[in-house]
Amino acid sequence: MSNTNRALNRILLALAGLVLLAAGAVTAAAGLVPDIAAAWTATGTFLADQARAALGSAPLPGRPGSWWSVAAVAVFLIAAALSVAWLASQGGGRTPRLARDDDGDRGATTIDAGLIGTAVGEALDGNRLVVGSNVSAWENRRGTGLRLRLEARKGASPRELADTAEELVRGIDALIGHPVPVLVRITTGVRSRVAGADRAR
Amino acid sequence: MNQSQATRRILRRETHSSRATVSAVTAILLAVLFLWLALETVLGLLGEPALLAAPGQLWRWLTGLPQATIPAGLAAAGAGVALLGLALLLTALAGGRRSRRALESDRTAVVVDDEVIAAAVSRRARLAAGLTPGQVTSTVSSRSVTVQVRPTSGVPADRDAIHAAVDGELAAYRLDRRLAPSVRILKEGVLGQ
């Protein structure tokens, strides 16, 4: 339920892939075709000459170096900052607070996800199908939602687990007073493997 | 299934990969590359010795690469880089479905791991055929479930009965997309069950 920008991830990964693909293809072609290798070197030398001329055209006052080098540093730093921003855009959105109700000047009521977690844990105590549970709240532009994870006992029916979860969600609705979006995740985990199978009845 | 748009969105996001890991690794590598280039340029401006290679040196090395390397090595390196690029491109374009699926529900979005379905199907098949836990293994793929049964030696397993039991069980789960069961009875049985 995290707020990862998936479209951005795919666009940037596709761009990075295309750049690497093109660079690799040119390198491989330079290894296979002597003409391309010659063109590679000629282009490199030409660009180096151009760069030298450009660097000489805007010298720093009173010291060696060029304004173009300063501009290059700025461009590299901006590119690095954008990369870090991309890294920072992964995940996020988890919040301890599930709901908040302002009562004007009489105060405000907030409900923590921990409260729901404890309530769910107690409701599932001794449940035959579930060996563990976990509740977390996630926030995005559309509002706050609840993620309810149930660790299934080995062999437990997903339908029965889903029905159990739906019952739990009805209880949560009653507890909070208004319905919130809920994602139920039925998973296996370490405890599923250790706790033994759901026996025939 | 008449689900709200928000629920459909949650289900879609939960059953498909966000590409966060690949993105994070790529972003870190890019950030390191750009920071290093910036640092080398600054060191060059200050007249300090380069960390690994000054920008001019780097460019000369790149320009002379076809002459300095044996062609086969250059071609192999290029192919390697191109393959890496292709892998990234495929990561960006592929569906990225995870091994979990949605269950119908009136109130919530329910997503269940394929492993849980496999364990439940195995259990159902085992009960239908009267076998012990180790004798049935199930594998869930995107559209089908393969149930592999190792019968008790001398006691033939009823393939149709197991198939019917598993099919009924899967139908009862009300998955968002039907899973077709296929039952395989192994030739070799187990002794003394």
**What pLDDT does residue A197 have?**
65
Q: Residues of A numbered 85-114 whose beta carbons fall under 8 angstroms of chain B's beta carbons: which are they? A: 86-87, 90-91
Report how far residue B75's alpha carbon sits from residue B36's, in angstroms, rounded to the nearest whole number: 27
Q: Residues of A numbered 38-57 whose beta carbons fall under 8 angstroms of chain B's beta carbons: which are they? A: 38, 40-41, 44-45, 47-48, 51
Asked if the model's pLDDT at residue B193 lies above 70, the reply is: no
Q: Residues of A numbered 67-86 whose beta carbons fall under 8 angstroms of chain B's beta carbons: which are they? A: 69-70, 72-73, 76-77, 79-80, 83-84, 86
B167: confidence class by pLDDT, cuts 50, 70, 90: very high
A180 secondary structure, DSSP code = -
Q: What is the pLDDT of residues A26-77, one digit of tens each?
A: 999 999 999 999 999 999 999 999 998 988 888 888 788 889 999 999 999 9
Which residue of chain A has the CA closest to B9? A1
Are A40 and B122 an interchain contact pair (Cβ–Cβ within 8 Å)? no
Which of the residue ranges A29-38, A57-66, B157-166, B172-181 would you say has the lowest mean pLDDT?
A57-66
A201: confidence class by pLDDT, cuts 50, 70, 90: very low
B133 secondary structure, DSSP code = G
Which of A10, A17, A65 is facing B45, going by the closest CB pair?
A: A65
Query: Which residues are CB-contacts of A147 (< 8 A; sequence separation ≥ 6)?
Result: A1, A135, A136, A137, A138, A182, A183, A185
Amino acid at A154: K
Are B85 and A18 an interchain contact pair (Cβ–Cβ within 8 Å)? yes
Which of the residue ranges A32-41, A55-64, A85-94, B171-180 would you say has the lowest mean pLDDT?
A55-64
Are B133 and A21 an interchain contact pair (Cβ–Cβ within 8 Å)? no
Q: In chain A, pLDDT over 70 holds for what percent of residues?
A: 97
- Does B130 reach chain A within 8 Å, measured CB to CB? no
Asked if the model's pLDDT at residue A189 lies above 50, the reply is: yes
Are A14 and B41 an interchain contact pair (Cβ–Cβ within 8 Å)? no
CA atoms within 13 A on the CB side of B90: 6
Are A69 and B41 an interchain contact pair (Cβ–Cβ within 8 Å)? yes
Q: Which residues of B touch A183 (CB under 8 A)?
A: 10, 14, 108-111
- Does A186 reach chain B within 8 Å, measured CB to CB? yes
Q: Residues of B numbered 7-46 whose beta carbons fall under 8 angstroms of chain A's beta carbons: which are they? A: 7, 10, 13-14, 18-20, 22-24, 26-28, 30-31, 34-35, 37-38, 41-42, 44-45
Find the mean pLDDT for residues A120-130. 91
From the candidates B23, B36, B93, B115, which should be mutated to test the interface with A, based on the most A CB atoms within 10 A?
Answer: B23
A196: confidence class by pLDDT, cuts 50, 70, 90: low
Cβ atoms of A182 and A155 closer than 8 Å: no
Type and span of the H or E element at A167: helix A158-176
From the candidates A32, A76, A172, which should be mutated to test the interface with B, based on the most B CB atoms within 10 A?
Answer: A76
Query: Which residues are CB-contacts of A183 (< 8 A; sequence separation ≥ 6)?
Result: A1, A145, A146, A147, A148, B10, B14, B108, B109, B110, B111
A37 closest CA partner among B174, B71, B85, B50:
B71
Asked if the model's pLDDT at residue B1 lies above 50, the reply is: no
Provide, for chain A, the percentages of residues in helix, strand and coil under a 3-state DSSP scheme, each rounded to the nearest 5.
Answer: 55, 20, 25
- Output the average pLDDT for chain A: 90
Are B173 and A159 an interchain contact pair (Cβ–Cβ within 8 Å)? yes
Asked if the model's pLDDT at residue B114 lies above 90, the reply is: yes
pTM above threshold 0.95: no
Is 0.90 exceeded by the ipTM? no
Q: What is the pLDDT of residues B118-147, one digit of tens each?
A: 999 999 999 998 888 889 999 999 899 999
B2: confidence class by pLDDT, cuts 50, 70, 90: very low
Tell me how far CA of residue B187 lies from CA of B91, B124, B154, B159, in angstroms: 40, 21, 11, 12
